[in-house]
Chain A
Amino acid sequence: MNFLNLINAYAFWGAIELGLIFGLVGLGVFLTFRALDFPDLTVDGGFPLGAGVAAVLILGGWNPWLACLAAVGAGALAGLATGILAIRFGVLHILASILTMIALFSINIRVMGAPNLSLLGQETIVTPFTQMGLSGLYARPLAVGLVVLLVTGLLTLLFASDFGLALRATGVNARMLRAQGADSRAYTYFGLALSNGLVALAGALFAQTSGFADVTSGAGTIVFGLAAVVLGETFFRSGRIWVMLAACVIGSIIYRLALAVAMQNLGSVGLQASDLNLITALIVAAALIAPKIRAEMRQRAARKGAAS
C-alpha cells in the first residue's frame, strides 16, 4: 500500500504544519517534564493565552513578530505564576499548575474581550511568504518551520551552556545541583517561564496559521506535548541534546501525520473522529509505561536465569 493513498496533500501539509506548531509545545513539555521533573499543566492555559495575546495585538495593528514575542512574555508570566505557587508557597506542583490553568481561562477571555477572535485578512507571519507567490498550503508550514528551527537552535545553545547543564540537572538531582552551588529554585522558575513561553509561542503561531484565536483551543495541550516527547524518545534515543530537542519536534510531526492518516481512514476500521482522544491517550500511556514493562521483563529474565 502506498502512503500517498492514505493521506492527501492537504491533510499531509496540514499535519506537518500542526506537527511543527505542537513541536514547540513538545519542547516546552520536554523542559518541564524531563529536565525539571515538574508535571506542568499550565500549558493548557498558556497555549490559548499565547493565541489570544497575539491575536489582540495583531488586530491592534502590531507587527506579527512583535505580537509573537509579546505572547512569549505572557506565557512566561503564566509559568512564573505556577512557579510561585509551587516553589514559594509549597503547593503541590501539578495542583499549582492546574490552578494557573483554570485562572488563565478567565484571563484569556479578558485579554481577548470575547471567547474567540478572527484573524482572517490580517497580516501575520505567513503573509510575507504568500506575497512571494507561495500557496498558503506551503507558506504556513514554511513560516512555522523557520520559527521552530530558530527556537530549536537557540534551545540547543542554551542547553549546551553552563547555565543549561544546571537547568537539565534541576529535576534529576536538585540536591547535587545545590551542592554544586546552583540555586535549584531559580532554575525551576526559569524553566517554567521558558517552557510556558514556548507553549504560548505555539499558541501565537496557531492563531496566525488557523486564522482565529479561541479560548477553548488549549484543551489537551499537555497531552499533545507529551505525545511529541515520548514518540520522539521512542524513535531517537540519544544523549546529544540537539537530537533530544529535534526528537520532540519530529515526534510531534509523526504524531500529527499518524493522526491525519487515521482521520482519513477511520471509517475503514470502524472508528469515528471522537475516538481520537482515546487513541492519543493510549499511545501516550503505552509510551510512558513501556520503559517500566521492559525493566520488569529484564528483571524476570534475570531471576529466571539465576534460578536455573
Chain B
Amino acid sequence: MIRVENLHVVFNPGSAIENRALRGLSLTIPKGAFVTVIGSNGAGKSTLLGALSGEVTPTQGRIGIEDQDVTFQPVHKRAKLAARVFQDPLAGTCAPLTIEENMALALKRGEGRGFGRALREERRALFRERLKPLGLGLENRLSDRIGLLSGGQRQAVSLVMATLAPSRILLLDEHTAALDPRMAKFVLELTREVVAQYGLTTLMVTHSMADALAHGSRTIMLHQGQIALDVADPERQSMTIGDLLEMFSKVRGEEIKDDKLLLS
C-alpha cells in the first residue's frame, strides 16, 4: 500500500527559479494495485516518483509505504520496500559489471552485504532461471558486461533485477521512453507479467496515454502538481484517449497542449 498525504515539493524555494513541483497531492493506492500515471511535462510525475523513492525530499506532507512512515527515510533505507526501474537504461544497471554481477547486486537489495562470494552456482542458476523467460538468450551470457547489451535488453534485465529481492512497491519511471517501439512493447508486456506474478503495488509513470489506459487497473493524470483526473476500472476499461482529454478539459477548464502526450 502507498499512502501520500498533502504532499508538497518545492525546488529552489525563495529564488527566481522556484518551482512548486507538487502542490498538496494526496493519493492512496491499495496493496497489489497497478496504477499508471500520466501528465504533461512539468506536471510532477517524476517528482512524485522521486518523493516515493526518497530521492526528493518533500517540503510538506507525509508518505507511507505499507504501515511505515517513510517521509524522511533516505533512498538506501527505503530500497527494502521499494524496487525501481529508471527511465534511462544506463541508470538502473552498472555498465562495467557483468550481467550476473549486476543481478547479484540486486539480489541483496535491502539486505546487509557480507564478505561471502557474490557469484555462487546456486545464484547463477537462479539468474538463468529468471532471465530465460525473457527469450533474449541472456541466460547464456551471464558473464558478459551489461554495458554490451542494448537499452531494451538492459531495461528488461532491470525489471528482472527489481523482482530478485522481495519488495512491497514497484516504481517505474517512464521505463520504456528511451526504447524503440518494438522493445518498448516487449518491456511493457514483461512489466504486466512481472506485476501480476509478484502481486506488487505498482506505480508506472508513462508519457503515453494509450499505454496508461492499456495497463494496470487505474490511471491518474497529474497537472500542475496535483491530481487532475483519477479513473479506475471498470469505468476506465471502455475509455479512449479522447474521453480522457474531454474529461480533463471539463475538470480543468483548459486544453492539453503537450503534443508528445497526445501523439505517443
User: Which chain B residues (39-94) contact chain A, with CB distance < 8 Å?
Assistant: 53, 55, 74-77, 79-80, 84, 86, 90-94
B113 interface residue (CB < 8 Å to A): yes
Encode B89-114 as 1/0 by CB contact (under 8 A) with A: 01111111110010011101111011
Encode A234-246 as 1/0 by CB contact (under 8 A) with B: 0000010000000
A84 interface residue (CB < 8 Å to B): no
Contact between chains at A169 and B119 (CB < 8 Å)? no
In the complex, what distance in Å separates the CA atom of A280 from the CA atom of B109? 43
B118 interface residue (CB < 8 Å to A): yes
A166 interface residue (CB < 8 Å to B): yes
Contact between chains at B76 and A160 (CB < 8 Å)? no
Contact between chains at A169 and B97 (CB < 8 Å)? yes
In the complex, what distance in Å separates the CA atom of A180 from the CA atom of B114? 15
A178 interface residue (CB < 8 Å to B): yes
Pairs A-B, 6 closest by C-beta atoms? A181-B79, A162-B113, A178-B75, A181-B110, A169-B94, A163-B113
Encode B113-157 as 1/0 by CB contact (under 8 A) with A: 111111100000000000000000000000101000000000000
6 CB contacts below 8 A, A to B, read: A161-B117, A162-B108, A162-B118, A177-B94, A181-B80, A181-B111
Contact between chains at A184 and B76 (CB < 8 Å)? yes
**If the complex has contacts A160-B118, A161-B117, are A239 and B98 also in contact, measured as CB distance less than 8 A?**
yes
Q: Which has the most chain B C-beta neighbours within 10 Å: A161, A164, A184?
A: A161
**Which residues of B sit under 8 angstroms from A180, Cβ to Cβ?**
79, 105-106, 108-109
A165 interface residue (CB < 8 Å to B): yes
Beta-carbon nearest neighbor of B90 in chain A:
A173
**Which residues of A sit under 8 angstroms from B119, Cβ to Cβ?**
160
**If the complex has contacts A172-B95, A181-B108, A182-B76, are A239 and B114 also in contact, measured as CB distance less than 8 A?**
no
A1 interface residue (CB < 8 Å to B): no
A297 interface residue (CB < 8 Å to B): no
Contact between chains at A158 and B115 (CB < 8 Å)? yes
A168 interface residue (CB < 8 Å to B): yes
In the complex, what distance in Å separates the CA atom of A32 from the CA atom of B97? 17
**Which residues of B sit under 8 angstroms from A160, Cβ to Cβ?**
117-119
Contact between chains at A183 and B91 (CB < 8 Å)? no
In the complex, what distance in Å separates the CA atom of A182 from the CA atom of B235? 42
In the complex, what distance in Å separates the CA atom of A175 from the CA atom of B109? 13
Contact between chains at A161 and B97 (CB < 8 Å)? no
Chain B interface, DSSP helix/strand/loop, else mixed: loop
A258 interface residue (CB < 8 Å to B): no
Cβ distance B123 to chain A, nearest Cβ, rounded Å: 10
**Which residues of A sit under 8 angstroms from B109, Cβ to Cβ?**
179-181
Contact between chains at B76 and A165 (CB < 8 Å)? no
A92 interface residue (CB < 8 Å to B): no
The chain B residues found within 8 Å of chain A, CB to CB, are 53, 55, 74-77, 79-80, 84, 86, 90-98, 101, 104-106, 108-111, 113-119, 143, 145, 165
A176 interface residue (CB < 8 Å to B): yes
**Which residues of B sit under 8 angstroms from A114, Cβ to Cβ?**
none
Encode A277-305 as 1/0 by CB contact (under 8 A) with B: 00000000000000000000000000000
| Inter-chain pairs besides A162-B105, A162-B114, A179-B84, 18 sampled, C-beta below 8 Å | A161-B117, A161-B118, A162-B104, A162-B108, A163-B115, A165-B104, A172-B94, A173-B93, A173-B95, A175-B91, A179-B53, A179-B75, A180-B79, A180-B106, A180-B108, A181-B77, A181-B108, A183-B74
**Which residues of A sit under 8 angstroms from B115, Cβ to Cβ?**
157-158, 161-164
**If the complex has contacts A158-B115, A178-B79, are A165 and B84 also in contact, measured as CB distance less than 8 A?**
no
**If the complex has contacts A166-B105, A169-B105, are A178 and B117 also in contact, measured as CB distance less than 8 A?**
no
User: Which chain A residues (238-274) contact chain B, with CB distance < 8 Å?
Assistant: 239
Cβ distance B52 to chain A, nearest Cβ, rounded Å: 12
**Which residues of A sit under 8 angstroms from B55, Cβ to Cβ?**
175
Contact between chains at B108 and A168 (CB < 8 Å)? no
**Which residues of B sit under 8 angstroms from A173, Cβ to Cβ?**
90-91, 93-95
In the complex, what distance in Å separates the CA atom of A173 from the CA atom of B93? 8
Cβ distance A253 to chain B, nearest Cβ, rounded Å: 24
Cβ distance A169 to chain B, nearest Cβ, rounded Å: 4
Contact between chains at A165 and B105 (CB < 8 Å)? yes
**Which residues of B sit under 8 angstroms from A182, Cβ to Cβ?**
76, 105, 113
Beta-carbon nearest neighbor of A169 in chain B:
B94
Q: Which has the most chain B C-beta neighbours within 10 Å: A165, A166, A175?
A: A165
Contact between chains at B91 and A176 (CB < 8 Å)? yes
**Which residues of A sit under 8 angstroms from B79, Cβ to Cβ?**
178-181
Cβ distance A218 to chain B, nearest Cβ, rounded Å: 30
Contact between chains at A172 and B108 (CB < 8 Å)? no
In the complex, what distance in Å separates the CA atom of A181 from the CA atom of B116? 18
**Which residues of B sit under 8 angstroms from A161, Cβ to Cβ?**
113-118
In the complex, what distance in Å separates the CA atom of A179 from the CA atom of B158? 12
Cβ distance A175 to chain B, nearest Cβ, rounded Å: 6
In the complex, what distance in Å separates the CA atom of A165 from the CA atom of B107? 12
**Which residues of A sit under 8 angstroms from B91, Cβ to Cβ?**
173, 175-176
**Which residues of B sit under 8 angstroms from A179, Cβ to Cβ?**
53, 75, 79, 84, 86, 92, 109
